[in-house]
Each structure stands twice: as structure tokens, then as C-alpha cells.
Structure 1
Amino acid sequence: MKKSYLILFLLPFLILSCTDEKDYVPIRSEPLQGVLNLPDVPYNYNEQLPAYFYVNDNGPVPSAVNGIDNTPQDNLITNDGATLGRVLFYDKNLSQNRTTACGSCHRAEKSFADSSPFSHGLFGGATKRNSMTLINTRFYKRGRFFYDERAATLEKQVMMPILDHTEMALTLNDIIPRISAQPYYSKLFIAAFGSDVVTNERIEQALSQFIRSMVSYSARYDTGRAQVANMRDPFSNFTAEENRGKDLFLKSFADGGVNCYACHTTEAFVSHNSGPSNNGLDAVTTTDSGAYGFYTSAPELAGAFKIPTLRNIALTGPYMHDARFTSLVQVIEHYNSGVQNHASLSPVLKGPDGMPRQLNLSDADKLALLRFLNTLTDPTIMSDPRWFDPFINQHL
């Protein structure tokens, strides 16, 4: 019996003595954080995008992403920088009570959005708006972030949830000591920045590099797009119904389409440069003033919100800033018959008479649009280890 107690007593020390030196040392804190699962050679976070992302197809609206990448020259994506950003993104030590990370509200299986209508922070409180997907973040020319664009750059945005009292609730003075206390960060900062000095600016840069690396280009849409010269050509891997939905999506009203591409454009399916838009969710703004809450000198932005990418849209529900729609069927029906005549309504959604345009689509056409939107789902988003949580055990 005494021998058994001795073995149990010595077992933790035997395990530690056998640990490979290349493993990062676990943090001794509450809760105890596990060993990092990182490759010996960093993943490639600068994969070349398909050629068609950079070539305009001569359509009425630019299809290339040229000129809309908001990556600053002083913070280009590096493999080591994005690796550090990945660890920071999933590190719960960046919340006051060590229960919440950036990755808690931006989940890989949801295309880095959230399944809850409103995300819940470290004390269970709900955020004001639905979490927007982080996919294709780099392809927003204006470079502003949040639904109301209150963050001037991604580098400024990434720190705001950490400081928010509802979400992670640290202060600026808390952040550096929290990171410096974790022994696994020394090697990561040296690899990314050449020294182990921790600064808030370096944290901002690393997180931004990781997030900008999240670009989607492996959906069924991409398989078909790679085989044609023009995105408007029929895709051989699409059904007739999916090609019909693509036509409706891409074509203008004058050409027999429904003009979705006017707001969700380029191969990244993002807003090109139009800024926040009022899409007629309500006739009068009462509860959330949207971009006007930040741009207070622009009352025409009342009820206007940043336009998200449609890549992986089938994964990112519920939809709209207030999560009012639980399905894409409801979203399509809103644009078909439910657009309200708000004073700030986007001109794109108005008819020749200045009133909200009623599409009056047939059930077959609404289904075709839905089928096309589903072709934008990229299954690699949920399986790419570059973006996985690197902590083997968050609580031991």
C-alpha cells in the first residue's frame, strides 16, 4: 500500500521529467492552462489566393480584390506573428477572471462568428450586437471595424473587446503583466518581433495578423469559379438551380437579377467601399442608431451598419446586427418583401419611385438564391489547424 502511495506521489514529477523541452511550460495559475499545441515549423499564413481573386472579369462591378486590402505596410502578415496572434486569440488569461478569450465569441465552426444571438462575456452579460464573422476582415477598404465602424483600424479593434467591461474586462495596465506572466510567450514574441518585450502595440499587431490571415477560398463556388473566365459564366459543378441563383445574385435589376452583388461584391463578397448601409430592417430607428451612434454629425447614417462578407453565410446565423433572423430563408424574404421605408434607406434598395423595392420573387427563385448562397460555404474553415485553439487543456 505504501508503494502505491509513493508512485502516486512521484507520478507528476515523472511526467514533468519526460516532457520534451520544445513544449511550452504550462502556466501555474487559476485555472491551470495546458501545454500549447504548436508545430515545430509555423504554419503558412500567407498562402497565395486563387488567381481570379486578382483579375477583374470585365463585369459592371469590379470582381478583383485589388485595392481593398486594409493590411498596413507596417504590419504585414508573418507566420510567426500570426502564430503569436493565434495564441493570444485563444488565451483566456486575457479576461479578468480567465474564463473568456476572443475565440469564445468567434468560433471556427461558425466561420468565426457566434451561435448565440448575442455573445456572452466573462460574467454572463450579453453584448449589444451579434458577433460578426472575422472571415475576409482584411478585404474592407475603409479599414474600419464593428457594425458602427467605431474602430479606425483592425489594430485598434482587437484591443476593444479585451477592455470592454461586458466581454473581457481588463484594463490597459492589466494586459502586459497578464501576458508577461505566461512563460510560453517569451519564445513566441522573440520569433515574431525579435525580442521578448511585451507591449500593447505588439499584441495588437499579432492579433491583427492572425485575423487577417482568415480568408475563405475553398468553397464549391471556388471550384466552379476556377474553371471559367468570368464569374457570370455557368459553373459546371453547379446544378441548374444554383446557376440560376448565381445569376439572380450577380445581375442588376435591369438585367433581370436582384442586384445582391452591388453590396456584396468582389470575389471576397464584401462591401467594396460604400460604408455603413441602412437595409430597411425598421421604418424608424429606435433602439440602435447604428453608425450614427459613432458618426454623430451624419444623421443620414441612422440605422446604418457595416456590410459583412457573405462567404460562409450559411454558417454565421443568426443574421443582422440584432440577430432578428434565424435563417437565410428569412433574410431572403426580408429583401424580397420586407424592406421598410426608413428615411436613411440605402438607394440600392429603392425602386424608381423612391420607395422600397419589392422583388416579388417566385418561390423557385427564392430557393435558387438560397442554393447559391450555400455554395459559398468553405468546409476548410472548420478543419484548418492554422486557426484552431492551440491550448490542449484550458482547465486541468
Structure 2
Amino acid sequence: MSHTHPLLTTLFKTVGMLLYVPLMFSCLEDDGDEVPETPIFGEGSFSTEELNTLQQTLNLQATPFNYANVTLPEHYLETEALEVDNTPANNAIKDMGATLGRVLFYDKNLSANNTISCASCHQQNAGFSDPDKLSRGLNGETTRRNSMSLINSRFYEAERFLWDERAATLEEQVLLPIQDHIEMGMDLAELEAKLQGLDYYPILFTHAFGTPEISSDRIAKSLSQFVRSIVSTDSKFDRALKDAGVTFVDEDVPKLTLLSEQENLGREIFYNGYKGATCSYCHGGAMNVNDEAKNNGLDLVYSDNGKGEITGRDSDMALFKVPALRNVALTAPYMHDGRFATLMEVVNHYSDNVQQHPNINFRLTTLDVEDTHGPVMRLNLTRSEKEALVAFLHTLTDDTITTEEKWSDPFKN
């Protein structure tokens, strides 16, 4: 029987464990088949060796940009931004995940002939939209619709994406252009193998997900993290609300001192029902987004029936997703088909030219009663009122969106 003192027994056990831990890790390091996982994937920094490999192709630094911990302004929080956030529980934004997403977003290797990237049709200097009426794909063919801005995609509560809302989530949406035969023309299995052969991706995937495995699921998740990180919070309108201490923007907002008289009149038209205007019903709150497809009376008869082509329901014919308006002054041309070249043309439509389509949204009718189809509304805004509304829309421009390096092209060539 041992008579070792209890304190000595505890000491021996502690020393034994201390000796075992480094021995265990040294065994892992010696095993050439073992790939050490990042302790907390999605965070951390690149090693010097990894950075040397990455910087042969990419303008990346050892520590990634902050994508995950962005502070939203009070007027976002007061308008329930967090409640409408469509970020899924299994794909929270991580710095390394969004960094990988940024590289994928700008990489033309995602197209079959290495000529088109996501950024080809969602350009940073155009508010992550396409300045062309219709986008051009890998063989020069044009797409059917204008490319919608990606700003504030995180706050589409209903989660459905694309003009016809055929994508149920952002994770689903980001893979569709890659596979589209006009846009990028890639098979996902072939894409996985292609990216595996590029030396920067195993490093990026390891830091984003813990292992170097490349899969379409991981591609979708990282692209979605990057897109959700593109949030506008520093427009002139944001600064005016902050200066006034205003957190609720839809009704009874006093004149904002940082806005001009013209811009304040435009804000009143947009938010407060001036002359019956209903802009904020479809583009309301601080994020200027909406969660339902609508018909806005562009035509009596449509050649493109939007959501109705997906569902086949008569009530969905000629309904289209309502885009966010942040940086709208930079995202011309406008509408699903890019028919309007300027914001003044858009305002003229809503003031004077809304058409009596059977599925016209009730907010654009004189009855203003849901599920009714009364006569369309004619606001008959004066020229100065139209100019004021356009001036207000310009206050939604956030220059950080177009200039921040963390959303820019990381490729050296």
C-alpha cells in the first residue's frame, strides 16, 4: 500500500499532464497527414508563410478587415434592423469568412472562361450594381434584367432574392449566376476542383472554415458573408438623423438641420405622405428596404412577368422584388429592365405615369385599401417638388460603400 502524501500525488498528476500536452501536440505536428485546424475558424491572422503565398496574387494583410463587429446606428436599431436581419444561425459573418468571400466575389476564375466575376455585374463604384441596362455574361450575351444593388441585402426580411424572388436565401442566390449559362457558365463540381488548384484558396478556406476543403456550400456561405457585410450607415441622411437625435424616421420627424430646405421637402414627400405620396411604404425605415414583391405600374402588359413566371399564379404576374434605395443615386439605370436612366425619370413615373395593371400595388391607387384595385394615383408633383424628392434621394448616398478597401477588388492584376 502506498503512503504517498495526497499533495505529492496531486503534484505528480499535474506534472504528468503538463508533460503530456506538449507531447500530444508534437505528435500531431510530426504526422504529415494531420491538418491542424484553426483554433477558432473565421478569426485570427495569417502566418508569415501563408501571407507570402497570398500576396503573390492578392493585396491582403496579416489581420483581416473588420466585417463581423460593425456597430449599427441607433436609427437602424430603433427601426428593428436586427429583427429583419436575414443572417442564418449557421452563417454568421466572420472576418476570415468575409475575406474569403471578397476574394471569391472579385475572382474571374469563377466563370468558365475566366472573364467574368460577381463584381463584373455588381461594381463597387456603382453601389454594387451594374451601370449597363442589362449585364453582359461570359460570351458577351446580355442578361434578361438589370443587376440589382447588393447594399443592405442583409435586411431583406423575407430573405427571397433576385427580381423574381426565385432564390429562397442569399446563400442560394449567390450560386445561381455562377451556374447560369449566360452569366458565368460554371458547373459547381468543376468549380470546386478549379479553385483547389489555386494556391491561395486552401489557405483562405482553412482560415474561414477550419480545413482546406472547398465545397459549393462553403463558397455560398463565404460569398454571403461578404455581401451581408455591405451595409450603408454613413450617408448624409444618417448623419442628419444622428445630429438631430432622431431614431424613428417614418413619421412626425422635424426638419433636419443638416439637410437643406430642398432636401427636407424631399424627405417629407418620401416619408410623410405629402400629396398622398407613398414612397416609404415600399422603401421605408432607416434601411430603405422592403420584404415583398410588388407591381409598380410600369406597363399595362408586361413581356417579363417576374415572380409570376416562377409561381404561375395570376396574382404574382408582373410582381418584382423591391430594391433597397441606399446609394440609389449611383445605381442607374432603374427598374428590373433598366428602362429609366435618371432618378428624375423614376419620379416622373410615380408622379404622373403609373399604369393600371391588374396587380398594381394598392398603395399606388386612390383607394389605398389592401387587395383592391382602384384607380391609380396621380400625385401631379410640381417640377420643384420633383427636384426636391430627387435631392433627398441623393442624401442616401454613402461614400464609404464606394471607397472602403474592405469591399474593393483584392487582386493585384
**TM-score, with normalisation over the residues of structure 2?**
0.84
Gaps of at least 5 residues in structure 1 are 1-18, 27-33, 56-62
Whether the 8 Å CA contact 1:349–1:357 is kept in 2: the answer is yes
Whether the 8 Å CA contact 1:23–1:36 is kept in 2: the answer is no
The CA deviation at 1:257 is: 5.0
Partner residue of 1:127? Answer: 143
Instruction: Give yes or no for the alignment of 1:241 onto 2:262.
Output: yes
Residue 77 of structure 2, aligned match among 19, 38, 54: 54
Residue 281 of structure 1, aligned match among 266, 279, 298: 298
Partner residue of 2:288? Answer: 269
Q: Secondary structure at the match of 2:52?
A: coil
Counterpart code for 2:72:
L
Cα deviation 1:9-54 (Å, max 9, x = unaligned): xxxxxxxxxx98623358xxxxxxx611112101001311112211
User: Counterparts of 1:336 and 1:115 in 2: how far apart (Å)?
Assistant: 24
348-357 or 128-137, which moves further after superposition?
348-357
User: Counterparts of 1:210 and 1:295 in 2: how far apart (Å)?
Assistant: 30
Residue 406 of structure 2, aligned match among 351, 374, 386: 386
Cα deviation 1:138-185 (Å, max 9, x = unaligned): 111110110000011110110110000001001122111011011001
Partner residue of 1:12? Answer: none
Tell me the matched-pair count.
355
Gaps of at least 5 residues in structure 2 are 1-47, 368-372
Instruction: Give yes or no for the alignment of 1:37 onto 2:66.
Output: no
Whether the 8 Å CA contact 1:281–1:340 is kept in 2: the answer is yes
User: Counterparts of 1:167 and 1:123 in 2: how far apart (Å)?
Assistant: 8
Partner residue of 1:344? Answer: 359
Cα deviation 1:94-145 (Å, max 9, x = unaligned): 1111111101110000000001001101100001100000000011111011
Counterpart code for 2:284:
T
Instruction: Give yes or no for the alignment of 1:369 onto 2:389.
Output: yes
Counterpart code for 1:369:
L
The CA deviation at 1:258 is: 1.1
Whether the 8 Å CA contact 2:54–2:60 is kept in 1: the answer is no
User: Counterparts of 1:82 and 1:258 in 2: how far apart (Å)?
Assistant: 39
Cα deviation 1:305-356 (Å, max 9, x = unaligned): 0000111000000000001100000000000010000011110100138111
Partner residue of 1:160? Answer: 176
Whether the 8 Å CA contact 2:276–2:379 is kept in 1: the answer is no
User: Counterparts of 2:211 and 2:82 in 1: how far apart (Å)?
Assistant: 34
Rg (Cα) greater in structure: 2
Larger relative helix fraction: 2
Q: Over the residues paired in the alignment, what is the CA RMSD in angstroms?
A: 1.5
Counterpart code for 2:179:
L
Partner residue of 1:190? Answer: 206
User: Counterparts of 1:151 and 1:299 in 2: how far apart (Å)?
Assistant: 20
Residues 1:84 and 1:344: Cα distance change in structure 2 (over 3 Å): same
Cα deviation 1:157-215 (Å, max 9, x = unaligned): 10110000001001122111011011001111111101101111011000000000000
Instruction: Give yes or no for the alignment of 1:70 onto 2:86.
Output: yes
Q: Which runs of at least 4 in structure 1 moved beyond 3 Å after TM superposition?
A: none
The CA deviation at 1:252 is: 2.4
User: Counterparts of 2:168 and 2:83 in 1: how far apart (Å)?
Assistant: 18
Instruction: Give yes or no for the alignment of 1:137 onto 2:153.
Output: yes
Residues 1:198 and 1:334: Cα distance change in structure 2 (over 3 Å): same
User: Counterparts of 1:67 and 1:44 in 2: how far apart (Å)?
Assistant: 22
Partner residue of 2:273? Answer: 252
User: Counterparts of 1:23 and 1:344 in 2: how far apart (Å)?
Assistant: 57
User: Counterparts of 1:20 and 1:200 in 2: how far apart (Å)?
Assistant: 27
Of all paired residues, the percent bearing the same amino acid is: 43
User: Counterparts of 1:215 and 1:21 in 2: how far apart (Å)?
Assistant: 30
Q: Secondary structure at the match of 1:293?
A: helix
Partner residue of 1:22? Answer: 51
User: Counterparts of 2:276 and 2:239 in 1: how far apart (Å)?
Assistant: 23
